[in-house]
Amino acid sequence: MTEVTFALVSGLTCFNGAVKMIHHYTHSETYYRLVDELNLLIDRQRPYCEGDAELTEALQTAYKKAKRLTWGVLLYMFVLGQMWCIVPLFMKFPPDDPSSPLPLVTITRVHKVHNHTLYSLAYLSECHTVLYWNWSSLGMDVFFGSIMIHVTGQLNILNIRLSRLSDEGVGDGLAQYSSFGKASELQKGDIHYSASMYDELCKCVKDHQEILRYLDFLESLMNPVPLAQFLLCVGGICLTLYQITFNPDDGGVIECILFLPIPALQIFIYCWAGHGIMEESEYVSFAAYSCRWGGAERKVTDVLRIIMSRAQRASLLTAGKVHPINRDTFLSLLNASYSFYTLLRQMKNLEEENEASS
């Protein structure tokens, strides 16, 4: 039973990585275009960040967060992969067992003493599979996670720009001209203020449209990947919990404990990064309302109403048009896995009670 469970878990995990590799191979040109358009999207608002400490900090925060995510996850998986490869060397097994444990799947009649050469080749092959899977599968996850972090940063910059509209506008003009009682100068100041605010607001609207267009492009390319990720990871978690529940004294429990954080981490990357986009897109409406629009021309308030109305519909990425990618989905998947584990424990306890009574 242990060998079958490990084979199924390893098969689901490797199949997940294969799905990502095939998707990348068949859409390689689209992936390149995704990166190029992200660079263009960042360049649209980069001039506003030059010489502005707050906007520069928002841009740098996105860069640092994406960098920490990439290096942190890959280093963690590299260390965990090494442990995954070393554990079989210290696992205890019966002397008369015809097979010796391997990192992924134990091969029948491959013994490290009786078939040392074949066992060494199989061991090195599975270790290579573990390390290669870390870069191919987790690399795809942090790639999409980093892109979502950068888009969140662009939404943050847009929100700051919207909330700061008219910081140097009509308020200062009223204070300057009203004390001298020059009505004509005040009117000119208001006209200049409304025109400059309208121009800046139109630029913000265009940047917002470009961000929304990019998010549509991102989802059209990405949504099959997290859908496969969610389904296969939950399946792997359930199989691992089954192994821990019904074979708690087996040496493979250590490998199960090492494996469990991996699918949870993969799901969390998508849900955490996607939730950031949802929050910042919802904040666009509040940022537009927070600007100093009092006394502005009708065309300014009309544009503000349009952008606020559009921003009330949060930009929510989905996994295969089925599951929204946010923290609620992450919690619901973990809750489903825990419910499955609870059911298994109840079945195990009932089985033990029946054996004790008989």
Number of domains into which the chain is organized: 1
Distances (CA, A) of 195 to 204, 207, 337: 14, 19, 56
pLDDT digits (tens, 9 = 90+) for 317-344: 999 888 899 999 999 988 888 888 788 7
User: What is the residue range of 24's domain?
Assistant: 2-357
Question: Are 71 and 237 a contacting pair, CB within 8 Å?
Answer: no
The 3-state DSSP composition of the chain as helix, strand, coil percent (nearest 5) reads 80, 0, 20
% of the chain beyond a pLDDT of 70: 80
Could you please report the per-residue DSSP string of 28-81? HHHHHHHHHHHHHHHHHHHHHHTT-HHHHHHHHHHHHHHHHHHHHHHHHHHHHH
> Chain-centre distance of CA 10, in angstroms?
23
The model carries a pTM of 0.83
Place of tokens 């449209």: 209
For 248-299, write each residue's pLDDT tens digit.
Answer: 655 567 777 778 888 899 999 999 999 999 999 999 999 988 888 777 788 8
Residue whose entry in the numeric block shows the structure tokens 């955490």: 272
Would you state the structure tokens that stand for residue 18, as one six-digit string? 């294969």
